[in-house]
Amino acid sequence: MVSRKSAEPSAVSVARANRQRLAQEEGVRAMADVEQKATALRKNMARLRALREAKEAEDAVNRSAAPETTRKKRRKPLSR
């Protein structure tokens, strides 16, 4: 038995094609959303890194400007 394809697609094949088209469109939107979130994350990380480096540089300047204090030795040993 040989079956011939009809000129018109069946309702099942139309529904499948429609589902595939919708899934593809949703996939494109999802990928765009993921890329947008990744870009925002990288920008935030760069901003936070710049703030941290500026704070570390400021702390280094403040540490070098402050005189170093030495601890005094105890005269009496601790009694136990």
Residue 75 within any structural domain of the chain? no
pLDDT digits (tens, 9 = 90+) for 48-79: 999 999 999 999 988 887 666 677 777 777 77
Residue 23 within any structural domain of the chain? yes
Average pLDDT score, the chain:
88
Residue 18 within any structural domain of the chain? yes
Can you tell me the distance from the alpha carbon of 44 to that of 38, in angstroms, rounded to the nearest whole number?
10
pLDDT digits (tens, 9 = 90+) for 9-21: 899 999 999 999 9
Residue 69 within any structural domain of the chain? no
Provide the domain limits for residue 34: 12-63
Total domains in the chain come to 1
Q: What is the pTM of this model?
A: 0.56
Residue 70 within any structural domain of the chain? no
pLDDT digits (tens, 9 = 90+) for 44-56: 999 999 999 999 9
Tokens of 34: 């993921």
